[in-house]
Amino acid sequence: MRVLLVEDDIDLNETVKEYLENFYEVISVFDGEEALNKAYEIKPDIIVLDVKLPKINGFEVAKEIRRFSNVPILFLTSLDSEKDVEKGFLSGGDDYIKKPFSLKELKLRIDAILKRVYGDIKRVRIKDFEFDLESLELCKDEKIIHLKPKIAELLKFFIQNKNKIVSKEEIFDYLYDFKEPNEASLRTFINNLRTILGKDAIVTIKGRGYKFVG
């Protein structure tokens, strides 16, 4: 899922972005004007929106976004009066989290909103591609890219473990039951995925395994 993060505090922006990138695609901006442009341009699945922003404050940004999109909006703010909370919801917000907050709580709130709005996630974006986690179909521009069954299963495994280092043994445990795993085959599978998704999609971590960065 694609998250648009709008936070003008550079350190907080970077911290939140780095954490959320373990789970979603994250685009971050630092002011209200950028937020409006990006919301229109990239069509995010959810917006995490600070209130006290340069150029245009978060409440006004939300009102403008509601003119062209029903994308869910989660406000981040240090404002905590009942009137401020009410103003956030009236401007188009779906939820409200007060600073300071834990990164885990933020993710839980994002997940709850995404599940409520979109249901259980069955399709994910990878760059210009879409991958169906149930049918294991990879598509680009609505055209199916045919993958061999083991390669499709490997892609699903990588997606489920995005940004984590996975060992060859973990991959073999996932791909094979009683059949003897083959390192040469695994290298071929990974090279095929790199050919399709780009060489930088899967990083080799020497002596440890692989990391899928999408």
Q: Cα dihedral sign for 196, 19, 13, 59?
A: positive
Q: Which residues contact 142 (CB under 8 A, 6 or more apart)?
A: none
Neighbours of 74 (CB within 10 A): 21
- Confirm whether 29 is domain-assigned: yes
Query: Looking at residue 26, what is its pLDDT?
Result: 94
- Confirm whether 144 is domain-assigned: yes
Residue 63 phi, psi (nearest 5) = -60, -40
Residue 186 phi, psi (nearest 5) = -60, -45
Tokens of 43: 């069509």
Flag whether pLDDT at 38 surpasses 80: yes
Flag whether pLDDT at 121 surpasses 80: no
Q: Are 109 and 148 members of one domain?
A: no
Cα dihedral 69→72→76→80 (10° resolution): 100
Percent of the chain predicted with pLDDT > 70: 97
Query: Which amino acid, 110?
Result: I
Q: Are 11 and 99 members of one domain?
A: yes
Query: Looking at residue 25, what is its pLDDT?
Result: 87
Tokens of 51: 């209130």
Q: If pLDDT is split at 50, 70 and 90, which confidence band does 178 have? A: low
Q: If pLDDT is split at 50, 70 and 90, which confidence band does 128 have? A: confident
User: Region 46-75: what's the mean pLDDT?
Assistant: 93
Tokens of 78: 């240090």
Query: Looking at residue 161, what is its pLDDT?
Result: 83
For 134-172, write each residue's pLDDT tens digit: 889 999 988 999 999 999 999 999 988 888 889 999 899
User: Region 126-137: what's the mean pLDDT?
Assistant: 89
Q: Are 6 and 85 members of one domain?
A: yes
Q: Give the whole-angstrom CA distance, residue 115 versus residue 137.
A: 22
Query: Looking at residue 209, what is its pLDDT?
Result: 93
Q: If pLDDT is split at 50, 70 and 90, which confidence band does 19 have? A: very high
Q: In terms of DSSP H, where are the helices of the chain? A: 10-20, 32-42, 58-65, 82-90, 103-118, 149-160, 168-175, 183-197
- Confirm whether 123 is domain-assigned: no
Q: What is the CATH number of the domain that holds 80?
A: 3.40.50.2300
Q: Are 113 and 145 members of one domain?
A: no
Query: Looking at residue 65, what is its pLDDT?
Result: 94
Q: Which of 212, 147, 153, 208 is nearest to 179 (CA)?
A: 153
